[in-house]
Amino acid sequence: MDQSITEQKDSTSSDRLDQSSKNKAYNLKLDQPLPGHFISLNINHKYEFLNQFNITEETYVIKDKSKKSTDIAVSDSLYFYSDGDIEIVPAIRFNQDENYGTRTSPMLSILYSMIAG
């Protein structure tokens, strides 16, 4: 499992804003090769937090704003061999975002290689 956590603080003198943000991201990727196909599972979760303070007016422009999002994708690469190589990849993606809501997206990809490898 891959995990990345970043914290950063930026000061912008031209806008007279003091901005601080914290971002956390968790990623999990599992791949399983099987005879004739390859299954993949990807799970991503992000958390973002933001504060913006106006130094001149001593007020918060943005205070304690946060956003979470989760993305899950499953795919299966199926391999067929004929005169050329054919790969068919059906997949489904589920996304949940606090700002944009929940969506499920089916996907299909087909690759035909004319050069036998």
Please determine, for residue 13, whether its predicted confidence score (pLDDT) is greater than 50. no
- Choice between 7 and 25, residue whose per-residue pLDDT is larger: 25
Q: Which residue has the tokens 């007020």?
A: 59
Distance, in Å, from the CA atom of 108 to the CA atom of 84, rounded to the nearest integer, reads: 19
Q: What is the DSSP letter of 58?
A: T
Tell me the pLDDT band of 117, cut-offs 50, 70 and 90.
low
Distance, in Å, from the CA atom of 107 to the CA atom of 105, rounded to the nearest integer, reads: 6
pLDDT score recorded for residue 16: 62
Please determine, for residue 92, whether its predicted confidence score (pLDDT) is greater than 70. yes
Strands (E), 35-100: 37-54, 59-81, 85-97
Q: What is the DSSP letter of 115?
A: S
Q: Evaluate if pTM is beyond 0.85.
A: no
